[in-house]
Every structure is written in C-alpha cells, then in structure tokens.
A = this chain, B = another copy of it.
Amino acid sequence: MRRLAPALLATLLPLAAHAEEAPKTVSSVLATTTGADWRGLEPENTLVMELPSGRVVIELAPAFAPLHARNIRALAREGYFDGLAIVRVQDNYVTQWGDPKEGEPDARPIRTAESALPPEFLVKDAAALPFAAIPGPDAYAPEVGFVDGFPAARDPKTGEAWLAHCYGMVGVSRDGPESGSGAGLYAVIGHAPRHLDRNITVAGRVVQGMEHLSALPRGTGPLGFYETAEQRTPIATVKLAVDLPEAERPKFQVLKTSTPAWADYVEARRNRRDGWFVEPQNASDLCNTLPPVRPTPAG
C-alpha cells in the first residue's frame, strides 16, 4: 500500500494527526489503542439499574447537570426507584421509567432528595468544558463534539454548550417549564430527537445494557405509555456503583475523546475503509460517532 508523505497526509486527514501509514479502519484503530486511551467509569457517577432481563449501566454527566446528578444519586440512595417500573416505550423515541402513580395521592414520596430542581438545559459559560469538536456540519448546532465522552453541542457566539439527544442518552422527564427532579427518567431508543436539545435536562448516557430498554414492547397508550400494570417492566433496584460491593460494580471503560487515538477513530468513522464499503462519506454525524465502550481488561 502506497505511503503518503506526512505533509500530504495532514491535508487529507487533518484529524489523524499521528497517522503515518495508510488510512485506518475502525477495527484497526481500536486494536492499536493502549490502556491510556480508555477511562474507567467513576463509581460515584455510575447508576446500575437491575431489570428482569439484565443490567443497565448509566454514566451521569455532572459537568452538564450537577444538580440533577446529585439528586439522582440521592434518589438512588434512598431506594426511590426500587420496585417502580418502565412506564412508557414509544417507538423511535424514548423508554421512560419512574412511578406509575406519579401525581396521584398514593404516589411514592421522595424522602431525602429534592422533588423539583431548576432547569439545567444548557451550560451558560462552557469555556471550562474540555470540548473536543468533530467536523460538521450539524443540522442543529453551530458546533458539535464530545466532552469527556458525552455528545454535546456548542455555540461559540453565546459561549453556551449542551448535551445532545443521541441514542442512549438519558434525560429528566418534565411537564411544565421547570425541570423535573430525576424521579422520572428516559433514554433515547431511536433516531436522535435533537429537537429536545436545550428543552430538557440531559443527565447521562447508557453505557451498557441498552437492549434491556430498546427491545421492550412498545406501549399502546398515547405517547407510548403502558395502559395496565401488567404491561410495565418492573425495576428491581437502581443503585450507585459506589454503594455496591466492589465485585458487583460494573467494570467498563469508555474511549477517551481527547487523544490521538480518538482523532483516528473519528476519521475512521468518517471514511469507512474496510473492504465492504465502496463509497466513503467523509462524514459521520454526532450521534454516529459515540465513543465505544468495552469491558475493563483484566489486570
């Protein structure tokens, strides 16, 4: 395979700053990462939801939603979610969970956590966030990229940044203009509903076990809400990983979105070069560029 002069390569592949060989594939980039290219989940920021079919692992995003992350931790610690249910599955949209009796007299009380919070729809001064932009254009925002593995958008004119509603992102249900409390949460299970961006608080991302949320029967009521108790999937428990015995904590790593390996990964997603593809796109939209997650290697 013909080698390209480094200067020419830099022109063709500005993201692949460290590339010296021929263009790389997603597989070849991941195969050559080292331990330093990955980061583990912080047990204090990791939720573990146990469903009948298996475990859902959610990484919280306190950099974007500090009040909600703190409140969701408090809700988990008081056992708020234990025994509640998946209440809604709307095809190509969201799976939502919480108290089926929310708003009714016998709804489950919130004991230690806050029951309402101010909106955290966006970060007003995002200068301190380690925003790693990817090439655009994006249909919804002037600039898109990743902050510590979370898909985000940014407006250089206002200095604001916000999390983007990609597949697997976890948001906080709300009814009125105020934000919710985190007692009702949802995960995106379809094409990214980016029209929700900046309209609701996004608090994290499912990093493992999406299939336990995405493959559920769709609700038959309006907006995909289930209509009977029998249709709902029960939640056994939602706990913080830090509160689990060490052996039971989820052990996964997310590819860092700040390294040369990440730049190579983005470029390999933009131009698929394994044999099957005949037409590279020179494009990969934000939600098709989510960082991969792997089990933490032994040792």
Interface set of A (CB-CB < 8 Å, partner B): 89, 91-92, 121, 136-140, 166-168, 177, 190-195, 197-199, 210-211, 214-218, 269, 272, 276-279, 281, 283-288
Is the beta-carbon distance between A288 and B210 smaller than 8 angstroms?
no
Select A288's contact among B168, B177, B191, B288, beta carbons within 8 Å: B191
Is the beta-carbon distance between B283 and A139 smaller than 8 angstroms?
yes
Complex Cα–Cα for A198 and B138 (A): 20
With A91-B210, A138-B139, A210-B92 as known contacts, state yes or no: A199 contacts B167, CB within 8 Å.
no
Q: Would you mind naming 24 contact pairs between A and B with Cβ atoms under 8 Å apart?
A: A91-B211, A92-B214, A121-B278, A121-B279, A137-B138, A139-B283, A139-B284, A191-B191, A191-B288, A194-B281, A195-B272, A195-B277, A195-B281, A198-B278, A199-B276, A199-B277, A199-B278, A199-B279, A211-B217, A211-B218, A214-B214, A214-B218, A215-B216, A215-B218
Name which residue of chain B comes closest to A134, CB basis. Answer: B139
With A166-B191, A191-B167, A194-B288 as known contacts, state yes or no: A139 contacts B140, CB within 8 Å.
no
Name which residue of chain B comes closest to A175, CB basis. Answer: B276
Complex Cα–Cα for A34 and B197 (A): 32
Count of chain copies: 2
The smallest beta-carbon distance between A267 and chain B, in angstroms, is 13
Given contacts A139-B284, A190-B191, A214-B218, 6 further A-B contacts (CB under 8 A): A138-B139, A140-B281, A140-B285, A166-B191, A191-B288, A195-B283
